Structure 1
Amino acid sequence: MFVIIVYDVGEKRVAKALKTCRKYLNWVQNSVLEGEISDVNLKKLRAEMEKLIDSEVDSVILYTWRTQKYSDREIIGLEKGGISNMI
């Protein structure tokens, strides 16, 4: 499935949130990642983020599609992040 994750977490947790999400998805820009992910890995990502955040003040939003086929992406201005071809 195709996922976009957006998070707004406390300053002390930002680096950990990014590191956690980058294990599963591609960084797009500040606090936004996207990519194809399996159901199992999505459950793992969700569980890791639930442990990391403070649910009283932090927010994580997951947008999911069964396939990227039905989503469009338009960039206005500077493209940050992107898919890395580095091995």
Structure 2
Amino acid sequence: MYIIIVYDVNVSRVNKVKKFLRQHLIWVQNSVFEGEVTMAEYERIKNGIREIIDEDEDSVIIYRLRARPKRKNIGVEKNPIEDII
């Protein structure tokens, strides 16, 4: 499955969330990551995020998709993603 994660967390946890997600997904732009994952990886990511954030203060949204979506970027591309084989 393909997932997109967007987050809005307290500044004291931003770097922890970013560092964790960089181990699993591709950084797209500030507070946005995406990538292809297995169901086991998806569960590991969800559990890892829960350990880092404060669910009473922070917000993380995970979009689950069947396939990689087509994207159209308008403006500056923060982290160009090319099809890597």
Q: Alpha-carbon deviation of 1:81?
A: 1.9
Which residue of 1 is the match for residue 42 of structure 2? 42
User: Pick from 78, 81, 85: which aligns with 2:79?
Assistant: 81
Q: Which residues of structure 2 form unaligned runs of 5+? A: none
Match of 2:31 in 1: 31
The residue correspondences of 1:5-84 to structure 2 (distance < 5 A) are: 5-68=5-68, 71-83=69-81
Normalization by structure 1: what TM-score? 0.89
CA distance in structure 2 between the partners assigned to 1:14 and 1:82 by the alignment: 22
TM-score (norm 2): 0.90
Which amino acid in structure 1 is aligned with residue 47 of structure 2? A
SS in 2 for 1:75: coil
The 3-state SS of whatever aligns with 1:34 is: strand
Deviation of 1:72 after TM superposition, in Å, equals: 2.1
Q: Which runs of 4+ in 1 moved over 3 A?
A: none
Q: Which runs of 5+ in 1 are unaligned?
A: none
Aligned residues: 83
Aligned-partner Cα distance in 2 for 1:19–1:82: 19
Calculate the aligned-residue CA RMSD, in Å. Answer: 1.6
Contact 1:27 1:81 in 2 (8 A): yes
Q: CA deviation at 1:11?
A: 0.2
